[in-house]
Structure 1
């Protein structure tokens, strides 16, 4: 959080540029008015007397009863004009609001990598979700373990009692998946343990993004993944086609298991797992849609399963892409952004890391892999899709607060500099007013602490309630 607060949004550059221009202009203004008071004291005194204002120093040295000389009065004007215009409030406008915004996020389990991220989130027009573990619970359970016979009938569903058994198939897959962080793999390992299936731990484990995993088990290379993985290793996945289609049509995620030995390669079978959509995911998609934000889903899972989940979430079929490789996810995000849409990618797996890095804003679910979290701009500590909406609300509220602060700081200087230049403020009062402007900006920012991202930030309602 401290690191995030040290990184300021781009709007801070605007304040910095204003301050850089502001300081020399203020000094020049003070010098000009000091010279004018020396050159035309009576004329300026008459002007001040005509104003409907009560000033502590008003009308110039003549009205002051000769207590100060013209030169002394001009120096007082110079000092007041410089003091009243100190750009402290401008400098505090952005960091004060950013500090509060990132703190609100942390309080609600939303970690921003920096104030610049806060600003980018507010610009998001499209949110792209990964499926497993993001929109679904990610708590997969194995529902079917189907060994495939080596017949050539297009994929027999009957179990083989000779070559491969259910326990053997599950043991082979669990031996490799015990090293995996993916929810699919963890579910296979859990199923093997629940069924008291003994399995070894594979060596030379390798995760192949967009395809699956492989490892060495008892001098044989075991492959667990999709058809791309098996085909890349010379194994024909066609015999599993009938079983795979039947299982995927019921919104189950399916992995294929194969092995390579010194005697050749073969397809062992199919393992299916079921997941459930998070209840809050439905609300999150609906709320984002109501906010005018387009929702997409990109997943490495099969098309039948992806479309079934999208239907449950009311995501438009045209906004669903299935069987997408990691580098293709990044390309998909790029294509959306190339259409002029600022996109937020939300995911939790190794496969999502390239897309998270490509998106305008990458958002990782806190329970996700370390690689995904490292690639992300925002980390959600809870597995709740509604936190995506809260992230956008906090960003919008913080930017609104920054603009309020800048408006106040600029408005204050615009109003007070002429008063000081006309000799209506003593230096001590000018210094006090300057400090008051900084305190006002800080106070306005601290009021933002009371905001809850459960609702949209609205200035009028905040003023009314507080």
Structure 2
């Protein structure tokens, strides 16, 4: 990310402008795995691939070996023998140099990887071919070097395109804070000023529906504030004089006058932004599989080349043939297939994921998902729908459900309160039409009342019962007690002092949540739930879904700490969330999974995004990760297996019986290996990610 640059970027400062444009973006992808991010170089690799591919055509056409293989010849003229080498040199300088520059940090840290192996092969091929051009005409490796560079550029372009990662989490957080505020002058009038110009002690007007500009204390007014994006609390919070408000939260219907108590870096939102930044900076730099294989191959190639040199010098003395053997070993050590083994699987698994509603922003997130043994779900908006719904109803014996719903629909018709919306939805699902009412009136802090067919109708909670001096009895009391046990909110409807209906409302649990938890348990993964809601509410949801661990009444900074606590216990943690308050935890977790319907900042903080708000898709991530890993291992075996055969032959172990592997035959081996790897990667498309019913 732009805010967090690592020292390794200095290694690229001398690279061209195309790379400089992206240099500031930090990630954990790319070869090298030591904190260097090559994903920013996607455009550079794409452009260099196409240019190098075009430049390769004359190299192939004027290669004596290619002409011999395919039985054609190019017209000869003065200097025609230099056309192929000339274009090959251009390819090396344009397409090959980036690999050499990106090998620098690998060499500096003494952790050779793919970049070092590629650099070794193309440099040796280039230097030897220049030498051979004059010393031993026709024995150079120019066309092998050109195609190797093309394949490696293609592999890296594919890889980076499939895992392109935007890094806008902090910008999305900053967007929550309004740019301007209405400051109240001493004469009572208001003026619009920039939030950055606010000072502690300023008096501000927060209009209904507006964002709170900064942290403050309410001096006058009462309203319900939506703090879900900061605290994770699913219900709007009622606040009045003397209560604190958080910058970035959304005001409800009331008008508020607030006194500024914190500005700039001191606000709660700024604190969350710092947490995201710190968590992103603390990510481990995991090496990818191909890099580890490349690192081993680098040392193997050097060792085999040294043995080859010693053996051939003993056998034939200091001949040019010895040099050709050593060069053949070093060039063949870098197989085309290894350059494509991982990128092809990554590209295909990313595509499969997208078809299944899984967007992969960070390759390592998908690669490491197979190692996860604990999944933490944010409750509101993830396991639940983040809205109130009627969980249960109790109707008096002499009343019909349709009649009760029609009356409730009419009385709650104009209210925007979440509970009213839940009752309305229940009535609309039942297909009833609202009853005719009149004399609608709100009873402050108690509920509402209206007149229907000459009778007074009340709707409200327990405080309404106190006002009307009504007591619960029989079935209604049992219903209310059970609802309270399940942390549900109870709303009553009373007609002329008769309690006719009780509604139990709760944050609606998604239908797929229970199945998702069961499937994760079957995969040997522990499930935890993290929420800003009360312990009572959290325990009720956890009981219903069969969740193993519950963390309730958790503030944003503590969400981050809870993830860190589990990691300290040696657990590999995935976090699933959808709110701004989840952003630090999503970033701190080994894998952050954002529900797509959530806020932009949660999406920007996650390595994997679920397009649908379906917890079952979390299961698909682990299935895809395991299938992808299997394919990566298979491809690496194919790619490196080629070396097991080719390196000894290139070294000349069969020379005593008259067989020496020429670079041309080695290239054929290389092509076969590449084709096998490509076909095997395509087989990943047959992976079945359909969420099977439990």
Please, what TM-score do these two structures have when normalized by structure 1?
0.62
1:18 corresponds to 2:301: no
Residue in structure 2 matched with residue 103 of structure 1 by the alignment: 351
Alignment-derived partner of residue 521 in structure 2: 289
Contact 2:309 2:322 in 1 (8 A): no
**CA distance 1:345–1:170, shift in 2 (3 Å):** farther
CA apart distance, 1:391? 0.4
* 1:368 Cα offset (Å): 1.4
Between the two structures, name the one with larger relative contact order (CA 8 Å, sep ≥ 6): 1
Determine which of 408, 414, 437 is the counterpart of 2:638. Answer: 408
Deviation at 1:416, TM superposition (A): 2.1
Q: Identify the match of residue 118 of structure 1 among 341, 350, 366.
A: 366
Work out which of the residue numbers 440, 443, 456 in structure 1 matches 2:676.
440
Runs ≥4 residues deviating over 6 A = 166-173, 188-196, 238-246
Equivalent residue, structure 2, for 1:369: 599
Quote the residue 1:378 is aligned against.
608
2:383 counterpart SS class = coil
Change (3 A) 1:2 1:189: farther
> Would the aligned equivalents of 1:19 and 1:90 in 2 still touch at CA under 8 Å?
no
- Which position in structure 1 is the counterpart of 2:277? none
Structure-1 residue corresponding to 2:163? 5
Cα separation, 2, equivalents of 1:84 and 1:143: 67
Give how far 1:448 is off.
Answer: 1.4
The 1:89/1:452 distance shift into structure 2, 3 A limit, reads same
Q: Is the 8 A contact 2:586 2:602 kept in 1?
A: yes
Q: 1:352 to 1:86 in 2, by over 3 A?
A: closer
- What's the CA shift for 1:380? 0.6
Q: For structure 2, list consecutive stretches of 5 or more residues without a partner in the other structure.
A: 1-158, 166-284, 393-408, 436-444, 446-461, 467-471, 473-479, 492-502
Deviation at 1:34, TM superposition (A): 3.9
Per the TM alignment, residue 286 of structure 1 is displaced from its structure 2 partner at its CA by 1.2
User: Is the 1:33–1:78 contact (alpha carbons within 8 Å) kept by the matching residues of 2?
Assistant: no
Q: Aligned partners of 2:388, 2:377: CA distance in 1, in Å?
A: 18
SS in 2 for 1:297: strand
How many residue pairs were aligned?
346
Distance change (3 Å), C-alpha of 1:188 and 1:434 = same
| Paired residues for 1:151-166 under 5 Å | none
CA distance in 2 between partners of 1:306 and 1:406 (Å): 45
Kept after mapping to 1: 8 A contact 2:616/2:691: no
Query: Secondary structure of 1:394's match?
Result: helix
Match of 1:309 in 2: 541
Q: Is the 8 A contact 2:377 2:577 kept in 1?
A: yes
Distance 1:435 1:27, change over 3 A: farther
**Is the CA contact (8 Å cut-off) linking 1:9 and 1:115 kept in structure 2?**
no
| Superposed CA offset, 1:402-456 (max 9, x none) | 2222222222212221122224223321221122222222222222122123489
Asked if 2 retains the 8 angstrom alpha-carbon contact of 1:248 and 1:305, the reply is no
Q: Post-superposition shift, 1:372?
A: 1.8
Secondary structure in 1 matching 2:379: coil
- Unaligned 5+ segments in structure 1 are 40-69, 145-165, 178-183, 197-221, 223-237, 256-270, 457-466
Q: Does 1:431 align with 2:667?
A: yes
Q: Do the aligned residues in 1 keep the contact of 2:164 with 2:361 (CA within 8 Å)?
A: no
Q: 1 CA distance for matches of 2:307 and 2:420?
A: 70
1:300 to 509, 532, 547: 532
Superposition CA RMSD, Å: 4.3
Say yes or no: does 1:28 pair with 2:260: no
Alpha-carbon distance in structure 1 between the residues aligned to 2:390 and 2:580: 22
Structure 1 CA distance for aligned equivalents of residues 421 and 381 of structure 2: 12
**Secondary structure of 1:346's match?**
strand
- Find the aligned partners of 2:642 and 2:615 in 1 and give their Cα distance: 42
Matched residues in 1 for 2:296 and 2:362: separation? Answer: 22
**What is the rounded CA distance, in whole Å, between the counterparts of 1:333 and 1:117 in structure 2?**
16
1:244-259 residue pairs with structure 2 within 5 A? Answer: 247-252=483-488
Q: How does 1:123-202 map to 2 (within 5 A)?
A: 123-141=371-389, 174=417
Q: In the TM superposition, what is the alpha-carbon distance from 1:247 to its structure 2 partner?
A: 4.9
Q: Kindly state the Cα deviation for residue 186 of structure 1 after the two structures are TM-superposed.
A: 7.7
| Alpha carbons 2:591, 2:606 under 8 Å: kept | yes
Deviations 1:277-307 (A, max 9, x none): 3332222111111211111112222333322
Write the distance in 2 (CA, Å) between the matches of 1:93 and 1:353: 33
